[in-house]
Amino acid sequence: MLRVKKVTQLPFIKSIFILVIALFATVNFSDNGKALQLAQLSDGFNPEQKYMASCFACHSTGAAGAPKVGDGMAVEWGPRLEKGLDAMVANTVNGLNTMPAKGLCFDCTDDDLRAIVEYMIETSQ
Ligand code: HEC
């Protein structure tokens, strides 16, 4: 009898546990939007390093028609910038024609990718 009782109580205990975790998460993050935003960049993230590791192979050479990155390359980015940064980041996340999804950086968050795209545009003036 005792054994049966224990088993039936388990889902109840489980839901209390989940509730406590949910409350903890809300209290922790609700009043600190900025910290939450920063936290979405991966630990130790450096846009230049990630660019070199994932994007440089295509974007330094223009392989497969990739817009080139570097000094004097603003002309490659001007027409693309007209659609807005958000659209460009979305194309980076989802892929665009021969541009592979996430630019092959599979451990990058969407915010990491946005920071790399900003880095690419800034270094192509
Ligand atoms: C395999 C080659 C390749 C790699 C690796 C690659 N790209 Fe690209 N990328 C392309 C090509 C090709 C295009 C042009 C696509 C088109 O317009 O048809 C492009 C276009 C883009 C654009 C412009 C999108 C737009 O909306 O016009 C951005 C931004 C971009 N890449 C970011 C990145 C980032 C960030 C990385 C690395 C995380 C990366 N790419 C890695 C080939 C690559």
Q: List CB contacts of 27: < 8 A, sequence separation 6 or more.
A: none
E runs forming strands in the chain: none
| 21 C-alpha to ligand 1 centroid (Å) | 39
DSSP 67-81: PP-STT-HHHHHHHH
Q: What percent of the chain has pLDDT over 90?
A: 66
Statement: residue 110 has pLDDT above 80: yes
Residue nearest to atom 43 of ligand 1 (CA): 99
Mean pLDDT score, 70-95: 97
Q: Is 53 exposed, middle or buried (0-12, 13-18, 19+ CB in 10 A)?
A: middle
Alpha carbon distance 120, 123 (integer Å) = 5
Residue in 123, 18, 19, 2 with CA at minimum distance from that of residue 71? 123
Separation of 35 CA from ligand 1 center, angstroms?
29
Residue 83's pLDDT band (cuts 50, 70, 90): very high
CA of 44 to the centre of ligand 1 (A): 23
The pLDDT value given to residue 27: 45
d(CA 36, CA 29): 7
Q: What is the pLDDT of residues 2-56, one digit of tens each?
A: 565 565 565 655 554 554 445 445 444 444 444 455 458 999 999 999 999 999 9
Atom of ligand 1 nearest to the CA of 65: 12
> Per-residue pLDDT for 66 more than 60?
yes
**Does ligand 1 lie within 6 Å of residue 121's CB atom?**
no
Q: What pLDDT is stored for residue 40 in this prediction?
A: 83
